[in-house]
Amino acid sequence: MQQSLLIIGAAIFGCLGLLHLIYTFSGNKFEARDPAVTAAMKSSSPLISRDTSMWKAWIGFNASHSLGAMLVAGVYIPLAANHLSIIQQSLWFTVLPILVGVSYLLLAKRYWFNIPFIGISISTLCFVVAALL
């Protein structure tokens, strides 16, 4: 049961990350509803550097965010499937997916919308229950 919960929780993270990455680079799902906002992002740079635009930073942040979620899946699915004892014997590997899940959950609650919040809630619950087993 512990192994299945870890794999399910990590797979949810991976699927959300992959979908987010696809949306980042294809279509217009991350463009503002007001075209003037998107245009302003493309023509304005952040204070930290003139070497990029707010739009490029926005795309880069979304892509790296996606890769982080996919990394959780890329580490925990094979680890749980092939080396469950490593997770069971390590407080770090037991708690890490919970910490990551709670972090993403807080971000989802404050900044995002319902679908990622629900998916991350289910994933984090899987990690918590697995840790308690």
Which pLDDT tens digit goes with each residue over 20-41? Answer: 999 999 989 999 999 999 999 9
For the chain, the first-to-last Cα distance in angstroms comes to: 8
Res 106: pLDDT: 96
Question: Which among 132, 120, 99, 130 has a CA at the least distance from the CA of 11?
Answer: 120
Averaged pLDDT for residues 42-71: 96
Res 27: pLDDT: 87
- Helix%, strand%, coil% for the chain, nearest 5: 80, 0, 20
Res 25: pLDDT: 96
pTM: 0.89
